[in-house]
Chains A and B, each alone.
Chain A
Amino acid sequence: MPLLTTEIVPGLVSGGASCRMDADVAPKFKVGDKVQAININPTSHTRLPRYIRGKTGTVTRDHGVFAFPDTSTSGVHQDPQHVYSVRFEGEELWGADANANSSLYIDLFDNYLVPA
């Protein structure tokens, strides 16, 4: 358990702590796929917000393989999987009250998605 000292500070700040994981995991989806965010309501940690659950969008980018945040609360980075930039149209999320010509992009993991 290293004590943070003045000497360590610059390297820690410039190096950071990426949550990317070097794991050879196949993606479930590809760019262009229509996907639906699952409807979960865990009392544990999740990065799937309520306003996205159950909604349908389109995969626009595959960011690669990252640790799954929902289970990283164990203290260990685990469940490496692909995370995608998924686009949702404004009306899909907010109905008739959505802004005109608006869209929302959010980063969703394989575990949050099913094919739509």
Chain B
Amino acid sequence: MNGIHDLGGMHGLGPIDREADEPYFHEKWESRVFGLFFANFAQGHFNVDQFRHAIEHMAPAEYLNTSYYEHWLHAFERLLDEKGIVTAEELDRKQAELTAGGA
């Protein structure tokens, strides 16, 4: 699809910011997202092409304003909800429950 992900040649995106000696994961949740890809892939919930296409469906402004692992999370949510494995409602409920519980 002609989505925002198809960035080759685009102008106006600013300088390339670099961090010296950066870790693989800047937050712990990123490392869990990384591992969840393998776990979901091994289970056969999606292949890499489906995973990429799910990210391509992100709203352009959101895509540009979120980080790489947030893109992965978006893809998991979309694909798992589509397959009824984890619905959006279940996820919202569990997130609210964990937040309220001060976990």
- Chain A residues close to B by CB (< 8 Å): 1-4, 8-9, 12, 17, 41-46, 49-52, 69, 72-73, 75, 77, 93-94
Contacts and interface: CB of A to CB of B under 8 A. Distances in A.
Nearest to B39: A4
A75 B38 CA distance: 16
Chain B interface: which size bin? 10 to 19
Interface stretch (B14-22, B44-52, B58-66): B44-52
Interface of B: 1-2, 6, 8-9, 38-39, 41-44, 46-50, 52-53, 56
Nearest to B53: A45
Given A51-B8, A94-B9, A75 B42 contact: no
Q: Which 4 residue pairs of A and B lie closest in terms of their CB atoms, listed nearest first? A: A72-B49, A45-B53, A4-B42, A51-B8
25 contacts: A2-B43, A3-B39, A3-B42, A4-B38, A4-B39, A9-B38, A41-B2, A45-B49, A45-B52, A45-B53, A45-B56, A46-B1, A49-B8, A50-B2, A50-B8, A51-B8, A51-B9, A72-B47, A72-B48, A72-B49, A73-B50, A73-B53, A75-B46, A75-B47, A75-B50
